[in-house]
Every structure is written in C-alpha cells, then in structure tokens.
Amino acid sequence: MSTDLIEGTNPELAALIDNNFIAYRENSIVNGKILEVSKQVVIVDIGAKSEGIIPVSEFEDEDFAVGDEIEVLLEKLENDEGMVVLSKEKAAHKQNWDKIVKVYEDGGLVKGKVKSVVKGGLMVNVGVEAFLPGSQIDVIPPKDLNEYVGKVYEFKIVKVNDIRKNIVLSRREVIEAERAEQRQQFLEEVQIGDTVDGMVKNITDFGAFVDLQGMDGLLHITDMSWGRINHPSEMLMIGQTLTVQILEVDQEKERVSLGLKQLLNNPWDGIESKYAIGTEVAGAITKLVPYGAFVEIEQGVEGLIHVSELSWTKRITRPSDVLEVNQEVKAVVLSINKEEQKISLGVRQLEPNPWDEVESRYPIGSTIKGEIRNLTAYGAFVELEDGIDGMIHVSDLSWTRKINHPSEILKKGEELEAQVIDIDKTNQRISLGIKQLENDPWNEIDGRFKVGDLVKGQVAKIASFGAFVQLEDDIDGLVHISQLSEEHVAKVKDVLKVGDDVEARVIKVDRVERRIGLSIKAAEYSEEDLKKETAAFEALRPSSDLVGLEQAFNLASDEWRPSEEGAETEEKSEEKSEEKSED
C-alpha cells in the first residue's frame, strides 16, 4: 500500500503503516516468538494483530520451548478464525532451497536424515524433503528399507526440479566414490603375498568375491582348499569375514586374485614318502564319475580309483554299480604325480589276480565244462568260474558245417564241454573250441567220398549260385546251379527248397578247400559222361561261377534251417545289445 493512497493522513503515520505492510507480506520469512505449546500446535507471536499457529509436527527432532525466537514463513495474515497462518518447515525449506541448488550445481554432498519408507524408496530430510530411490540406497540392494529410517547419511544430489520443488538423492554414488578411492589406495599399497582381511560379498559356482576395503577380490574355488569341494557354499557364506592371501594384482584391470588354502600347509609336500607305491590306504569316497571314484585319503589329498581297477574279472561299466559316496574303502597306491596332484589307486590289487594262475588251472588242450553265459554273432561265452569266461568262436563250433550264428546249435544257459585252445593273459582272453574235441573228418575225407560216388542228403541251405546238401556226419556238399538239371535253371528255388531229399553224384572232392562238389543231373550219367561233367566242373573258379564253402555260405539266401528259426528269434534282440560289450 502506498502513502499516496492514504489521503489526509499524517505523512509519518502513513510511512509507518506502509513499513508494517512490507514486514508482514504473505509468503515472506519473519521472526517470531513462541508464546504457547500444546499437544497439536505451537502459538507464535510475530508482532501482527494476532498470533500465528504452527503444527507441532514441524518441530520434530528439534528442542524448543516457550520464549524461543524462531524464523517462520508467513503463509496468511489472517485465516477464517482470524489467526495468522505460519510454517516453520516451509521457512526452512525456502531458506534451504537455494543452498541445495548451489550444492547440486557444485557437485557437492549433503547430509540428511531418513524420514520414512515410501513406494520405490525413502524420503529424506536434507533441509528440504527429498526422494532417495531404492536403487540408489546402496551398492548391494537392501533387503529391508526400514533399517535406514532415522539414520543420517551423506548423499549426492542427482536431480533438482525447481518448478515442482523435487529433489532426487543418491547414497550409492557416494559409496561408489568412496570405494573407488579406497580401491586405488589398496592397489597402490598391497603386495603379492600380503595377508588381508575381507568379507564375503558374493558366491558363484566358480568362487567367491571378497570385499577388501572397497576392493573386490576373487577367491577361486581351486584356491579355497587343498581338498575337493564341489561348490564354494560348502565352505563360505555371504557376510562371513575371513583372512586371505594376495596371489595376484592387476592394477590396470583393477583385479585381485586371492587364496585361502595358501595360508595352510600343503598336504602334497612330501606325498611320495607318505604314500609309497604299493602302500595300502583307506578313505571315504567323495565323488563318483563315469570313469572312476575319488577317495579322500587325508584332508586335502584325494586319489582316483579308475573303473578298470575295481575288479580283476568282473566287467564294471559304472562305479556307482558297486560303490557309494561316503563309503569307506581300502585301496593300493599305484602311482603318484605330485606336480598335477594326482594319485592313482586300485582296489583289485588287494586280492591276487586270478589270471596270474589261469594257465595252470586251464592248460591248453584240457577239456573244461561250463555254462553258456551269452551268445553273440561271432561266438559263445562260457563261464569257467566267477568272473572268468572263455569264448568259443563260431569257426570253432564244427569241422564240417559253416555256422553263421552259434544259436544254430547252442542255447544260452546250456552246459557243454569244450577244449582250451589258447590263453591271452595280457588281454585276459581264453579261447575255447568244441570241434577240437573230435577228429577232423576232413583228414579222412578221401576214404569216405570219391568222385563218382552216388550219395544222398537233405537240402540245408540255398544260395543264388546253388544248394548246400547235408551229407552223412554233417558234411555239406555244394550243388552248383549248373548241376541241378540238364535244362537251364534261372533260380535255384525254382527247383529245390530247404528240407528236400536229394540224390547226387560226387564230382569234386577238395580236401584243402574243404569242398565237395555234387551234381544232381549226373546221378544217372554213365562213366564217360561223368568224366566230361567232372572236367567241366573243374573249370569253374571261385572267382567266377564256383565259390568256396565259406564264400557260399556268406551269400546264402536261406540263412537258417527251419528247425533253428525259433531259437534265433528268441535270443536275437538280447544278443544285439550284448555284442558290443563282449567284443
């Protein structure tokens, strides 16, 4: 109000009135005196025509009493009740705002007290009310925000909105800056081999990160213990304090490698003298793998029992079939590699090797009895004793017959006699034979079959080039397709089938090749015609029209005799699955 507007008023009085209006202008900061304090409000005299009221909550965390002088913001000269409306908090806010903006522009720090938890973070009093987002509270995300309420911290002002009067703070940036300074100081002072204290900050599959005065160091799982640990959590937990040794410092990349086991004696020192080759040891199984079992023979020292060292005779494909984790076992030291910290152990060495005396128990040429344990495409396995088998190859089943599969004449579980024909101790193999129990009929073949003899037999197999006829004593003869009929024969099956009884004449006896040639069409030939046919048969070569018995059987289209089809079908699926393991 100007004095020009007050007409007829004393100039001195007008000036006084004008000064009072300026002093008590709304939204200005004025001095006041506390007159009265109640539970809800504080009554303050600012020298106006009436007292002002301020909520007690605005005096939180401050000591005040009647008679104290304070600065307040004059919000209204008069409300509906005729009272002056004042605010101590807004006065402080108005006074502090410019200071906050200046701190923000200078990049400085401000202290503040956490007031409450709100959605997304915390409210902080830094002279004015400010917001601290949850992501900016600490370098490690806090689990409970309430633990910060009531505490005073330093903050960095990261955002100021002058229009909305909003302020955003960050405590995390303050911590990171402090840690960066500590980290630099740590890197400049620390030396390899130093022992330092730290706190486990994080645990991963490959190790643990340890906080070293603002510097994170990696404690790798291999440097935690001289023994085997499967995961760092077996030894450490987050928040745990521990003493570690500096193993490596990379100042350029700001990386520090730590060691825990290096502070302990290395159990591998002098390992050769403690566990000489051949020494018997005991320990607990710590881990089972497909190729063996690890055994801890003392704290920090493990040995490996390879799957091949579990038994002299049994075929163990998986260690877990016979061993369990934590099982106590005994073993023999087989070898030591101190540099690689490896010890090879064996269990089977605790017992004599039965293969050492196998030649004396099963001399070559002796006859054995045993049960057929398994049939494969190439032979039969016979159990001689627990864990020791002998194998009868398919070629050692008969002198006279070409047997494609042992199931043609043998059955699983059947007991038989066989002769020991070879022993390979190195590869732990014993070769057996059935045909060796009898004389080779081909040694006397010339006295039993002669060219020109008329013989009878039964068709055993059919091939594209002829038919095999079973003669007496299981000797087979071959009727070539050209010897079936005087007329041209396109397919053997058009003339013969398996099981047919036939009469034929012997036109070839080859003792070396173990081959007898037969001719059905020559059964009625004269002696002169027979000589011609024999000459024609002689002209045939294994590489052209005539093949040896072994080749002929491999090409035979009818693989099995009718009486043997059931046996083959019964065991076929099982034998396929076992063939690889026995080969």
d(CA 126, CA 146): 18
**202 CB-near residues (< 8 Å, 6+ apart):** 208, 209, 238
The closest of 194, 534, 108 to 217, measured between CA atoms, is 194
Mean pLDDT, all residues of the chain: 81
215-220 and 207-212 beta bridge pairing: antiparallel
Given a cut of 60, whether residue 161 has pLDDT beyond it is yes
> Is the pTM higher than 0.85?
no
pLDDT at 23 over 70: no
Is the pLDDT reported for residue 364 higher than 80? yes
pLDDT: is 322 or 185 the higher one? 322
What is the average pLDDT across 153-161?
90
> What fold characterizes domain 276-350?
OB fold (Dihydrolipoamide Acetyltransferase, E2P) (2.40.50)
Return d(Cα 392, Cα 367) in angstroms, integer.
13
Give the residues across from 519 on adjacent strands: 505
Tokens of 524: 């009625």
Cα gap 187→251, rounded to integer Å: 6
The pLDDT value recorded for residue 38 is 86
Supply the pLDDT for residue 61. 67
Q: Do domains 107-175 and 446-547 have the same CATH topology?
A: yes
Summary count for the chain: helices (H), strands (E): 9, 30
Angle at 533 between CA 531 and CA 534, to 5 degrees: 65
Q: Is the pLDDT of residue 382 over 80?
A: yes
Question: 190-263: which CATH architecture?
Answer: Beta Barrel (2.40)
Listed in sequence order, the residues at least 6 apart from 100 whose beta carbon sits closer than 8 Å to its beta carbon are 110, 126, 127, 128, 157, 160, 167
Which homologous superfamily is 354-437 in?
Answer: Nucleic acid-binding proteins (2.40.50.140)
CA 348 to chain centre: 30
- CATH entry 2.40.160.60 includes domain 3-91: no
Give domain limits for the chain.
3-91, 107-175, 190-263, 276-350, 354-437, 446-547
Question: In this predicted model, what pLDDT tens digit does every residue of 75-107 receive, in sequence order?
Answer: 778 777 777 888 887 777 777 787 888 888 888
Report the candidate in 474, 557, 487, 488 with the shortest Cα–Cα distance to residue 516: 474
CATH topology of domain 446-547: OB fold (Dihydrolipoamide Acetyltransferase, E2P) (2.40.50)
Check residue 340 and give its pLDDT: 85
CATH number of 107-175: 2.40.50.140
pLDDT value for 565: 37
- Going from the C-alpha of 59 to that of each of 50, 72, 137, 418, the distances in angstroms are 21, 11, 27, 109
- For 3-17, 29-43, 65-79, 396-410, which range has the lowest pLDDT when averaged over its residues? 3-17
